[in-house]
Amino acid sequence: MRTRPILQLTLSALAMSLASCSDAHAQNSVSSASSGAAQISSQSESRKAKNVILFIGDGMGVSTVTAMRIYAGQKRGMSGEEYVLPFEKFDNVALVKTYNVDAQVPDSAGTATAMHSGQKTNIGYLGIGPGAARANCESGKQHHLPLLGEEAKKRGLAVGIVSTARITHATPASVYARTTERNWEVDAWIDESQRDLGCRDIARQLIDFDFDVALGGGLAPFYGSAVGGARLNSSDDLPTEWVKRRRGNFVVDSASLAAAPLNRPLLGLFAPSHMGWVAERTPDSKEPTLTQMTQAAVQRLARDRDGYYLMVESGKIDHGHHAGRAGLALEEAVEFANAIQWAVDNTDPRETLILVTADHSHVFTIAGYPRRGNDILGLVVPPPGAGEEVAQASLATDGKPYTTLGYANGPGAIVGERVTPETGVGATQQAAIAMDSETHGGEDVALYANGPGAEKARGVIEQDVIYDIITSAYGW
Ligand SMILES: [Zn+2]
């Protein structure tokens, strides 16, 4: 948020010329409109966003949204189906095609790159085009894509990154990093043949990036082994390096986060790797919640008069699904909804565009014919029949009950004779095909939008169009 007067002058002149250019567009469309109502609509649609917040529920496919809606409603004592999540009140919704250039069912690196670089790429790549070879440092240099984080900083905006995953994990890294291998989060994880060829690990790229707020998990990639970190140089201490260079604040728990000054750049790393599960959170937890991190980010970024870009990821919805444990995923999802509600309540929809989406889906289903209000984490109990007094779980052809939530594959696969399934928040749901890690799903995900430029979130779109929605909302 430090300003460079000469650059700022040039940028504000550029911003003025861009503004007059798009005003001309707006006037053209107004003059061709035949009714007053159309004029009002056209004028409101041409308003620019000062700020954009992109909320990414990692792996939050449409079936996850439905299940989280029911779960959130049931936690409030409702039957659940009728509950409305904060982003379900947004007027603008689109379906998003998530495939990667080389993959029908995508990963988070390729999908997040589509949103932050404006182009689809291969599975596993960040900020690098599909022409490069995977895990090849040299070929990546020839295929750089734009990075929304870099572009926002060049235009004088403040930039924030928040995630419950490691801050060097694929989705948060897509804001600021370029690599042909998403696993190169720390230099020790780069293949030996590819080290010292001029490709920086992702942790190093974050420290070199001029962010204003970065909050999440993943201490280990920033430290050498002398303090229990993962870096090759045992004495490496990237946070201290960053604090000196940016005169920033580095925090490691919710108390130091709450006490940090608002007028300095902020780096917060709250766990050695990913942050803890919401479902296993204890009252004495030292980790901030996703809502607290979102609040800390917005309070700082909103001080920048030029506006800001903020990406908030709920990274562990995805991890709960990979573990085949829907309750863990849904607890993360409910906290994600809380963070979105906080942003809705504390930003101005006339100047802040809020987007909520997922990078990809999971092979997660809501099945059977459970009765209205049936425990979403429980066994399927059918609607009451005539004269039936006791609710009995439905039985499958093997004579055993089954759960509403399940997976097409994953750790809960049925091997041999099926047993009565587990239920509740900690349960592993049954699955058809045995896999150590449940997989992503390939169907479309939803995009929900509110604020200036939100009207572009309509129809069935390619995932890279989300980047266009963001950049055109800013008037770039
Ligand atoms: Zn995943």
CA of 318 to the centre of ligand 1 (A): 5
Domain that holds residue 422: 370-382+392-438
What does pTM read for this prediction? 0.90
Same domain, 405 and 259: no
Work out the burial of residue 456: count CB atoms within 10 Å of its CB; fewer than 13 is exposed, 13-18 middle, 19 or more buried: buried
CA of 335 to the centre of ligand 1 (A): 18
d(CA 70, CA 147): 36
Residue 38 in domain: no
Within 13 Å of residue 297, how many CA atoms lie on the same side as its CB?
36
Is the predicted pLDDT of residue 2 greater than 60, yes or no?
Answer: no
What's the pLDDT tens digit per position in 139-149?
Answer: 999 999 999 99
CA of 362 to the centre of ligand 1 (A): 8
Category of 59 on φ-ψ map: left (φ > 0), alpha (ψ -120 to 50) or beta = left
Q: What is the pLDDT of residue 25?
A: 34
Please count the other Cβ atoms lying within 10 Å of the Cβ belonging to residue 141: 15
Categorize the per-residue pLDDT at 388 as very low, low, confident or very high, splitting at 50, 70 and 90. Answer: low
Same domain, 264 and 402: no
Residue 173 in domain: yes
Q: Which residues have a beta carbon within 5 Å of ligand 1, which is an ion?
A: 318
| Total domains in the fold of the chain | 2
d(CA 459, CA 95): 6
What dihedral do alpha carbons 9, 11, 13, 15 form, nearest 10°? -140
CA of 438 to the centre of ligand 1 (A): 9
Work out the burial of residue 125: count CB atoms within 10 Å of its CB; fewer than 13 is exposed, 13-18 middle, 19 or more buried: buried
CA of 465 to the centre of ligand 1 (A): 22
Radius of gyration of the chain (CA): 23
Q: Which residue has the tokens 């936690």?
A: 75
Same domain, 269 and 407: no
Average pLDDT of the chain is 91
Residue 21 in domain: no
Categorize the per-residue pLDDT at 6 as very low, low, confident or very high, splitting at 50, 70 and 90. Answer: very low
Same domain, 281 and 421: no
Categorize the per-residue pLDDT at 349 as very low, low, confident or very high, splitting at 50, 70 and 90. Answer: very high
Residue 423 in domain: yes
> Is 108 marked active-site?
yes
Categorize the per-residue pLDDT at 371 as very low, low, confident or very high, splitting at 50, 70 and 90. Answer: very high
Same domain, 351 and 434: no
Is the predicted pLDDT of residue 68 greater than 50, yes or no?
Answer: yes
CA of 256 to the centre of ligand 1 (A): 31
Same domain, 306 and 403: no
**What CATH number is associated with residue 88?**
3.40.720.10
What's the pLDDT tens digit per position in 13-22?
Answer: 333 333 333 3
Q: Which residue has the tokens 């984490």?
A: 377
Task: Name which of 343, 333, 257, 228 is nearest 295 in CA terms.
Answer: 343
Same domain, 313 and 254: yes
d(CA 117, CA 402): 43
What's the pLDDT tens digit per position in 11-67?
Answer: 333 333 333 333 333 333 333 333 334 344 444 455 899 999 999 999 999 999 999
d(CA 128, CA 181): 10
Same domain, 350 and 403: no
Same domain, 126 and 246: yes
What dihedral do alpha carbons 12, 14, 16, 21 form, nearest 10°? -160
Q: Which residue has the tokens 């989060």?
A: 185
Is the predicted pLDDT of residue 69 greater than 80, yes or no?
Answer: yes
Contact 411, 428 (CB under 8 A): yes
Residue 221 in domain: yes
Alpha helices (H) along 219-289:
238-246, 254-259
Q: Which of 42, 108, 117, 163 is catalytic?
A: 108
Q: What is the pLDDT of residue 40?
A: 42
Residue 11 in domain: no
String of b and e for 333-364 (b: at least 16 CB within 10 Å)? bbbbbbbbebbbeebeeeebbbbbbbbbbbbb
d(CA 191, CA 197): 11
Q: What is the pLDDT of residue 51?
A: 98
